[in-house]
């Protein structure tokens, strides 16, 4: 007879047994209140694997006294959904049907749309789960009819609490005496990455792969724990939402001049092997967040990026770290990006007018008869290579797009140009 995996055997049947998620399941928290009311609405559970989404859905179905059906959108089809719907016309569906649709992001738009009719007429209550951001992957009509709850990674202390509960169950099932070193317990809790299912599976492998000693004891030490868990797996998918979350945290940490956090997120990206995204982001940061506060930053970062691309990983981590430390510790200015964005906004939203005729190309036969280039003043013919004349189109001739950042370098350049303008003659 097959035995269910430990995460299934330990699965909580009541809210107080659920590990973590106190922000939504704690006393008087929103999801706790909804579940205890018995009036269940459509919901979307969003969060990483092993954080209790399926467990909570099971508890909800039990509390609401509804028939519970679970489908996984990875391999389910519309016919599977229709089969669940058909149960609403039987005694099984007398009190209503709760459909738990796991990984709903794997249903395409048409498949998701097909659920709407049954949600709206109340034949089913839908609880969908996803590891991806629902606002990116779930059809808006379903989102508007559902409440989104975010399930967060479980902290290490809660994972260890869950592991101790799992250990207790295994001890009750086995005749052997099981001894689990504190270091081994702590290690499994640490490398689980907030995924209780992964931690419990690692615990079960550690125990049942270890032969009893002469005293009939199964002794699990740190080395066995390491072998059984195969190290920490980062919650990172370069094609998923976490890709953009890590990149966002990476850039914001550099922008905020937190060199340690910047290196941390660089490490995450390196461990995922995402060299291209690191290089592209560093190049844009050099102009977007440092810019003219330290104009040489982009030159140095380009060299670091080129070196990393030529070296590849793991050696490429070294010039990448050099670039990150340089950018994080450099003075900051966003004047470059704000200036060009103002220009583009005007081009999209204003009638900016024609180029001044004296600036138009005059290097062709007949240009003079069209007035092209007439009246243009050649700056190099004037003192300090500067002369006042209109460059912007008439409609926006008084527009100002660039304002210097509050840093020594830009103020120096800006003051130089300002003095030129003030001291020049027409």
For residues 67 and 167, state if they share a domain: no
What was the pLDDT predicted at 421?
85
Bridge-partner residues for 220, per DSSP?
180
Please indicate, yes or no, if residue 398 is contained in any of the structural domains. Answer: yes
Per the CB < 8 A criterion, the answer to whether 236 and 311 are in contact is: no
Instruction: Specify whether 99 is located in the same domain as 58.
Output: yes
Q: How far apart are CA 143 and CA 209, in angstroms?
A: 45
Residue 135 domain-assigned (yes or no): yes
Question: For residue 13, is pLDDT > 80?
Answer: yes
Q: Which residue has the higher pLDDT, 240 or 141?
A: 141
Q: Each residue of 152-195: pLDDT tens digit?
A: 888 889 899 989 988 988 888 877 789 999 999 999 988 888 88
Domain boundary among 113, 131, 150: 150
Q: Which of 294, 329, 364 is the last residue of a domain?
A: 329
Any domain includes 1: no
Last residue of a domain, one of 229, 260, 283: 229
Residue 101, classed as helix, strand or coil, is strand
> Are 62 and 104 members of one domain?
yes
222/247 same-domain check: no
Q: What is the pLDDT of residue 44?
A: 94
| Residues 313 and 369 placed together within one structural domain of the fold | no
Give domain status of residue 345, yes or no.
Answer: no
| Average of per-residue pLDDT across 130-141 | 88
Q: CATH number, domain at 185?
A: 1.10.8.60
Model pLDDT for residues 209-237, shown as the tens digit of each residue? 888 888 888 999 998 988 888 666 555 55
Question: Does some domain include residue 16?
Answer: no
- The predicted structure's pLDDT at residue 295: 95
Nearest Cα neighbor of 363 from 353, 352, 376, 354 is: 376
Same domain, 145 and 27: yes
Q: Do both 42 and 120 map to the same domain?
A: yes
Query: Does residue 337 sit within a domain?
Result: no
Instruction: Say whether both 118 and 138 belong to one domain.
Output: yes
Between residues 395 and 233, the one the model is more confident about: 395
The tally of domains found in the chain comes to 4
Per-residue pLDDT band at 253 (split at 50, 70, 90): very high
Query: What is the band of 338 on the pLDDT scale with cuts at 50, 70, 90?
Result: very high
Q: Is the dihedral of CA 250, 251, 257, 263 positive or negative?
A: positive
- What average pLDDT is seen over the chain? 87
List the CATH number of the domain containing 306: 1.20.272.10
State pLDDT tens for residues 28-82.
899 999 888 878 889 999 988 888 898 898 888 888 777 788 899 988 888 888 8
pTM: 0.65
Same domain? For 214 and 300 the reply is no
Residue 55 in any domain: the answer is yes
**Is the distance from CB of 153 to CB of 235 less than 8 angstroms?**
yes
334 in a structural domain: no
283 — pLDDT class (breaks 50, 70, 90)? very high
Residues 308-324: what's their mean pLDDT? Answer: 94
* Alpha-carbon gap, residue 297 to 325, rounded angstroms: 11
Handedness of CA 282, 287, 289, 290 (dihedral sign): positive
Residues 299 and 387 occupy one common structural domain: no
**CATH number of the domain that 412 lies in?**
1.10.3710.10
DSSP tag of 286: I
- The answer on 90 and 165 residing in a single domain is no
Tell me: do 266 and 222 sit in the same domain. Answer: no
Q: Which domain covers residue 169, as residue numbers?
A: 156-229
Residue 197 scores a pLDDT above 70: yes
d(CA 262, CA 250): 6
């Amino acid at each position: 007879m097959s035995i269910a995996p430990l995460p299934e055997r330990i699965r909580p049947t009541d809210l107080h047994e659920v590990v973590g998620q106190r922000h939504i399941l704690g006393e008087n928290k929103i999801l706790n209140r909804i579940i205890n009311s018995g009036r269940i609405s459509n919901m979307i559970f969003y969060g990483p694997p092993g954080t209790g989404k399926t467990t909570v859905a099971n508890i909800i179905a039990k509390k609401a006294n509804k028939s519970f059906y679970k489908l996984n959108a990875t391999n389910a089809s519309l016919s599977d959904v229709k089969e669940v719907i058909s149960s609403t016309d039987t005694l099984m569906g007398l009190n209503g049907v709760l459909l738990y649709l796991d990984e709903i992001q794997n249903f395409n738009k048409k498949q998701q749309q097909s659920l709407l009719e049954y949600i709206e007429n109340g034949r089913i209550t839908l609880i969908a789960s996803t590891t991806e951001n629902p606002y990116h992957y779930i059809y808006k009509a379903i989102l508007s009819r559902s409440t989104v709850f975010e399930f967060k990674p479980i902290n290490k202390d809660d994972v260890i609490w869950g592991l101790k509960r799992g250990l207790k169950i295994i001890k009750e099932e086995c005749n052997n005496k099981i001894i689990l070193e504190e270091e081994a317990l702590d290690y499994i809790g640490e490398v689980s990455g907030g995924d209780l299912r992964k931690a419990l599976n690692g615990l079960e492998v550690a125990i049942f792969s270890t032969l009893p000693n002469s005293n009939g004891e199964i002794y699990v030490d740190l080395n066995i724990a390491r072998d059984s868990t195969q190290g920490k797996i980062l919650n990172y998918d370069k094609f998923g939402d976490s890709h953009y979350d890590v990149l966002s945290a990476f850039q914001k940490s550099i922008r905020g001049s937190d060199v340690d956090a910047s290196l941390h997120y660089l490490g995450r990206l390196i461990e995922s092997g995402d060299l291209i995204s690191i290089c592209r982001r560093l190049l844009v940061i050099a102009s977007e967040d440092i810019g003219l506060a330290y104009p040489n930053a982009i030159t140095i970062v380009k060299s670091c990026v080129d070196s990393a691309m030529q070296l590849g990983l793991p050696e490429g981590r070294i010039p990448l770290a050099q670039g990150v430390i340089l950018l994080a510790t450099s003075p900051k200015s966003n004047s470059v990006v704000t200036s060009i964005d103002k220009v583009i906004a005007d081009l999209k939203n204003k009638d900016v007018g024609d180029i001044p005729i004296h600036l138009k190309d005059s290097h062709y036969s007949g240009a003079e008869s069209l007035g092209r280039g007439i009246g243009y003043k050649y700056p190099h013919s004037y003192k300090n290579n500067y002369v006042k004349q209109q460059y912007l189109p008439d409609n926006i001739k008084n527009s100002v797009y660039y304002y210097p950042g509050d840093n020594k370098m830009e103020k120096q350049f800006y003051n130089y140009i300002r003095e030129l303008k003030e001291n020049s003659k027409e």
